[in-house]
């Protein structure tokens, strides 16, 4: 779907949303009926929520794809997150919450610096948790953003279930334009599944309890298969005519480095004491990996071998840039441990 076509579609649906409140729309009523049938919600109470909700133009603007989706820059992306102010804030965070981070690392096997790096990238350690009413943001995306409507209707459903479980108004949750909540920016589905009361005060509070955020991030990664004491990724140099084929296999680890090196490529471990090409892959951990390309226009592409834990980080945000930035910020934060 081209950006121009998407803008035209969004203009049409936005005009529809302005012409009638959400509670009058057939698609919203179908959702209300689903919530009533599947989860025993009161239809009139839901309709009242939708009558009080207006579409948020800024949410649609924020989620639109870039004007030129072909331009991706790893160096620019990395520079947004691995920079002096965020590093300094991360080191302070690790000093203040060292006990909680150590407890989470012990319990879940996720390194403290990885947990801290994710919270730093998501909200700058709580400085930028979002400013949108989550119910309105998710309603806007669920009914006025066709490309991802199904996903956001599921998250709207999860938000309503979460509010009922916590005995809160669905209108009381504040988060990102996509409905992500708290210091770790959990979508409602992740909040319900992975958020934990890590400070043992009898409630889960991802907005004001760094301990709950720390434990919940670690629980999320462990729940997606984090491997204790296992590598995340290693930087490599690579040449040969099989490079693109390996990249096209995706970011899920499938081949041991020995197999990667045998696929018409030569691997060099960057940053190791021995950087000579290792055609047998013996310089690398003997476990499945994927070849990750970190592209910067008009600059040399950086490559990493991503192991299982790299892939697990991409379950938090499905981007190899994101996982690589988490790694690099975590490396900077290790000095505070």
pLDDT digits 0-9 by tens, 233-283: 999 988 888 889 999 999 999 999 888 777 777 777 776 544 444 444 567
Q: Does 268 reside within a domain? A: yes
List the one residue out of 292, 285, 311 whose CA is nearest residue 226: 311
Question: Is residue 296 helix, strand or coil?
Answer: coil
Count of domains in the chain? 1
Give yes or no for residue 157 having a pLDDT over 80: yes
Determine which helix (DSSP H) or strand (DSSP E) holds 238, and give its type and residue range.
strand 233-239
CB 13 within 8 A of CB 146: yes
Q: Does 325 reside within a domain? A: no
Q: Does 199 reside within a domain? A: no
Give yes or no for residue 104 having a pLDDT over 70: yes
pLDDT computed for residue 198 by the predictor: 98
pLDDT computed for residue 21 by the predictor: 87
Residue 244 exposure: Cα atoms within 13 Å on the Cβ side: 1
Q: Does 158 reside within a domain? A: no
* Tokens at 177, concatenated: 């334009």
Q: Does 261 reside within a domain? A: yes
132 forms beta bridges with 175
* Exposed / middle / buried, residue 210 (Cβ in 10 Å: 0-12, 13-18, 19+): buried
Please count the other Cβ atoms lying within 10 Å of the Cβ belonging to residue 154: 15
**Confidence class of residue 15 from pLDDT cuts 50, 70 and 90?**
very low
Q: Does 273 reside within a domain? A: yes
Tens digits of per-residue pLDDT, 46-58?
A: 999 999 999 999 9
Catalytic residue chosen out of the listed positions 100, 105, 113, 122? 122
Q: Does 267 reside within a domain? A: yes
* Tokens at 126, concatenated: 């709580």
Q: Residue 256: which domain range?
A: 233-306
Q: Is 155 a catalytic residue?
A: no
CB 236 within 8 A of CB 274: no
What's the mean pLDDT in 129-156?
A: 97
Q: Does 253 reside within a domain? A: yes
Torsion of CA 235, 239, 244, 250, to 10 degrees: -20
Tens digits of per-residue pLDDT, 136-147?
A: 999 999 999 999
For strands 174-175 and 233-239, give the pairing: unpaired
Cα Rg, the chain, nearest whole Å: 22
Question: Is residue 306 helix, strand or coil?
Answer: strand
């Amino acid at each position: 779907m081209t950006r121009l076509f998407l803008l035209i579609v969004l203009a049409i649906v936005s005009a529809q949303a302005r012409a009638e409140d959400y509670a009058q729309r057939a698609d919203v009523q179908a959702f209300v009926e689903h919530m009533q049938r599947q989860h025993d919600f009161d239809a009139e109470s839901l309709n009242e929520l939708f009558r009080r909700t207006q579409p948020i133009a800024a949410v649609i603007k924020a989620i639109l794809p870039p004007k030129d989706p072909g331009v991706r820059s790893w160096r620019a992306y990395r520079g947004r997150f691995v920079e002096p102010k965020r590093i300094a804030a991360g080191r302070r965070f690790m000093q203040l919450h060292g006990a909680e981070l150590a407890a989470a690392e012990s319990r879940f096997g996720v390194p403290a610096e990885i947990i801290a790096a994710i919270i730093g990238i998501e909200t700058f350690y709580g400085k930028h948790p979002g400013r949108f009413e989550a119910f309105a943001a998710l309603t806007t995306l669920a009914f006025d953003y066709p490309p991802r409507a199904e996903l956001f209707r599921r998250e709207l459903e999860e938000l309503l279930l979460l509010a009922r479980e916590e005995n809160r108004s669905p209108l009381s949750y504040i988060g990102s334009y996509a409905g992500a909540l708290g210091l770790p920016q959990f979508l409602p589905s992740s909040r319900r599944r992975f958020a934990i009361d890590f400070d043992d005060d009898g409630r889960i509070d991802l907005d004001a309890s760094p301990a709950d955020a720390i434990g919940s991030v670690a629980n999320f990664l462990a729940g997606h298969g984090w491997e204790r004491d296992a590598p995340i990724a290693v930087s490599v140099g690579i040449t040969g005519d099989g490079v693109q084929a390996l990249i096209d296999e995706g970011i899920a680890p499938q081949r041991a480095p020995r197999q990667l090196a045998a696929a018409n490529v030569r691997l060099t471990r960057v940053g190791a004491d021995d950087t000579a090409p290792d055609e047998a892959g013996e310089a690398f951990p003997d476990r499945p990996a994927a070849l990750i390309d970190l592209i910067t226009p008009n600059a040399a592409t950086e490559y990493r071998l991503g192991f299982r834990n790299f892939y697990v980080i991409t379950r938090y945000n499905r981007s190899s840039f994101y996982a690589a930035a988490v790694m690099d910020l975590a490396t900077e934060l290790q000095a505070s441990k």
